[in-house]
Amino acid sequence: MPKIFFAPDRRAIEADPDETLLKAAERHDIPLTRICGGRGRCSTCRVMIREGLDHCSPRTIAETAIAEKMAFPPEIRLSCQTHIRGSGDITLRRLVQDEADIEITSLFVNGPEWNIAGTEKFLFILFADIRGFTSLSEALLPYDVIHLLKRYFHRMNRIIENYGGFIDNYMGDGLMALFESEDPLAGAYGSVRAGIEMLKEVKERMAPYVAENWNREFKIGIGLHCGMVVAGTVGTKKDCKQTIIGDAVNLASRIESANKDLGTSFLISEKVYNLLKDRLQTGITAKIPIRGKAGEHNLYEVVGIS
Ligand code: FES
C-alpha cells in the first residue's frame, strides 16, 4: 500500500486509495483542520504536496473553484478532496496548524478613522523588520513566504493591539505601528511593552515554527521614536488610505535600521528613553549619526521594563 508522510508531524501512514488524505489523517489521529467538515468549501484542510504530486487525484470541481479563487499553485491541495492513486508515496506538509493559521485567512482591520483634512498628532511610531528576509524568502516557496508573513503579521498585530496601538502600514516584510495616547507616559510604556512582547513572541513562537518547518533562523529588529506628525487620509474615494507624515516617522525608521549596525534587536530614541528611564532596563547605548539626519543621535537598546 502507498504511504503518506506528514510534516511537521514526522509520521508515515498507509493510504487507502478509497479515502481522502483528510480521512486517512483522521484515522491515524493526525490533526488536519476541517472547518467546513470536508465539503471543499473552506480551504482550511489545505496541504502542500512536497513529493509525489503525480500520485494525487486530479482536483475535484469544488477544489478547482477554491484553487482558482485563491490562486493556489498545483502543489497546494485540499486534503478533503484529494485521494492517493497508483502505488507511489507522497510527502506533504500540513499548512493550517493552529488557531493563528485559521484566523489569518481573514485580513487585517486596523486603526482609527482619521480626519480627511489632516490633523497634527503626537504619536509613538514603531518600525519592525525581519532580519535577512531576502535570503529567507529566496529559500522558501512563494506560498510559504506569504503564509509566513501573514502568520508573523497576525501575531504582531495582536500584540500591538493589546498595548493600544495598531498597524498603520505594511512594507514588504516590514510594518509600521502607531500608538496614540493622551498621556505620553502611557503611550511610551505601551509601545515599549509591545516591542518587548513582539521580540518574545518571535523568539518563543515564530523562530521555532520557522526552524521546524524550514530549518532557518527568524529574527526581527525594532525601532521606536515619538513626535508630532501630520495624520490624515490620502488617495481617491475608492482607494483612500490613512497615512502619517513627518520627521519623526523618518527618524523612527532609521532607528530601526540602526539595529543592523549595532547588532541589537530593539532600539529607542532619547525622547522615548527620557519618558521611561526610571523603569527601563537598557543594554547598549550609542551615539550615532543617522543617515539623512544632521548631527548624532543617542539610541538606547531596550532589554526590559518594570
Ligand atoms: S475541510 Fe473545508 S475545504 Fe477541506
Domain count along the chain: 2
Same domain as 279, residue 264: yes
Same domain as 129, residue 66: no
Tell me which of 21, 33, 42, 101 to substitute to probe ligand 1's pocket, judged by most ligand atoms within 8 Å of the beta carbon.
42
Q: pLDDT tens, 78-88?
A: 999 999 988 88
Which of 15, 151, 143, 8 is closest to 79 using CA atoms? Answer: 15
Same domain as 261, residue 189: yes
Residue 24 and residue 4 in contact, taking contact as beta carbons nearer than 8 Å: yes
Which CATH number goes with the domain that contains 108? Answer: 3.30.70.1230
User: Which of 75, 97, 119 is a domain's end point?
Assistant: 97
Same domain as 63, residue 128: no
pLDDT band at 214 (very low <50, low <70, confident <90, very high): confident
Q: Which atom, in ligand 1's list, is nearest to the CA of 40?
A: 3
More confident residue, 38 or 300: 300
Q: pLDDT tens, 20-57?
A: 999 999 999 888 888 777 888 888 889 999 999 999 99
Same domain as 280, residue 150: yes
pLDDT band at 162 (very low <50, low <70, confident <90, very high): very high
User: Which of 97, 127, 156 is a domain's end point?
Assistant: 97
Q: pLDDT tens, 233-244?
A: 666 555 666 778
Q: Distance from the CA of 279 to the center of ligand 1, in angstroms?
A: 49
Is the minimum distance from the CB of 41 to ligand 1 under 6 angstroms? Answer: yes
Q: Are strands 11-14 and 3-7 parallel, antiparallel or unpaired?
A: antiparallel
Which of 112, 110, 114 is closest to 167 using CA atoms? Answer: 110
pLDDT recorded at residue 113 = 52
pLDDT recorded at residue 243 = 78
- Residue 214 C-alpha cell reads as 524550514
Q: pLDDT tens, 95-120?
A: 887 777 766 543 233 445 554 456 78
Same domain as 273, residue 162: yes
Which CATH number goes with the domain that contains 72? Answer: 3.10.20.30
Is the minimum distance from the CB of 45 to ligand 1 under 6 angstroms? Answer: yes
Same domain as 204, residue 136: yes
Tell me which of 19, 39, 59, 83 to substitute to probe ligand 1's pocket, judged by most ligand atoms within 8 Å of the beta carbon.
39
Domain range for 65: 3-97
**Which of these ranges, 116-120, 166-170, 172-176, has the smallest mean pLDDT?**
116-120
pLDDT recorded at residue 110 = 42
Same domain as 280, residue 141: yes
User: Which of 60, 75, 97 is a domain's end point?
Assistant: 97
- Averaged confidence pLDDT in the chain: 86
